[in-house]
Structure 1
C-alpha cells in the first residue's frame, strides 16, 4: 500500500510541475521530468520494500532504514544522472534541465518516503485475520 501511495505522490507531483512547464515552456520538460521521476522512484520503492521486509520495529530500526534509503537514493540517482548524461544530451533534453528535475524528484521522493516510514498508518487489531 505504501508503494502505491509513493508512486501516486510522485505521479501527482509530476503532473503538477512537469506538465505545466512542458505545456507553457518547452515540451522537453516532459521527457526530462519523467526520466528523473523514474530514476528517483526506483530506489525509493526499494527502500519501502526493505522497510516492509524488516517489519515494524523500534524507532532505531526505522531511522536506520531511512538512512539506508537516503544512501541508496543518493548513490542510485547520482550514478543514473551520470550514466544517462550522454543519452539526455543526445536527445536534446539538456543536462541542466535533467539534473534540475532529478534534484526536484530526489527531494520529493525522499520527503514522501520519510513520511510514509515515520507514519505508517493505523495498525490492524491483533484479533483480525
Structure 2
C-alpha cells in the first residue's frame, strides 16, 4: 500500500526546491542588471509566497485524495487564500522593507513573480500522477 504522506512530503520538497530555484534565477538576473541585488527583498518575498503555497498545497492534496470531485474547488479556494496572503503581505512587509532601503514596488514585483512561479509549481504537482476523473465518462 502506498503511503500518501510520503508522496505529499516529496511534493513539498519539490515545491520548496522549485521556489528556491525561481528565486535564484530572478536574483541572478536582477544582479546582472542592477549593481546591488536585493537579498532581503528576495528572501522576504520567497518566504511569503512559499509559506502560503505549502499550506494551500497540503490542503488541496488532502482534498484530492479524499474527495477528488472537490479537488478543483480546493485549488481555486487555495489560490484565493494565497492571493489574499500575498496582497496583505505586500502591504505589511513593504513598509518594513522600506526602512531597509527596498522600494515598495520592487518588493511587490518580487512577490508577483514568485507567486506565479509557486502557483505554477503547485498546480503541476497537484495534477502530476492524478488519475482521477472529475467528470465521469459516458457509458457506450
Q: TM-score range by the shorter chain?
A: 0.7 to 0.9
Query: Structure 2: 5+ residue runs without aligned partners?
Result: 1-9, 132-140
- 1:127 aligns with none
Deviating beyond 4 angstroms after TM superposition, the runs of 4 or more aligned structure 1 residues are: none
Quote the RMSD (CA, aligned, Å).
2.0
Aligned length: 122
**TM-score normalised by structure 2 residue count:** 0.77
- 1:11 aligns with 20
- 1:35 aligns with 44
**TM-score normalised by structure 1 residue count:** 0.83
- Please state how far the C-alpha of 1:56 moved relative to its aligned partner: 1.8
d(CA) in 1 for partners of 2:126 and 2:35? 36
Preserved contact between residue 19 and residue 30 of structure 1 (Cα < 8 Å) = no
Preserved contact between residue 51 and residue 65 of structure 1 (Cα < 8 Å) = yes
Of 77, 80, 83 in structure 2, the residue corresponding to residue 71 of structure 1 is: 80
Structure showing greater radius of gyration is 2
- 1:97 aligns with 106
Q: Report the CA distance shift for 1:2/1:120 in structure 2 as closer, same or farther (over 3 A).
A: farther
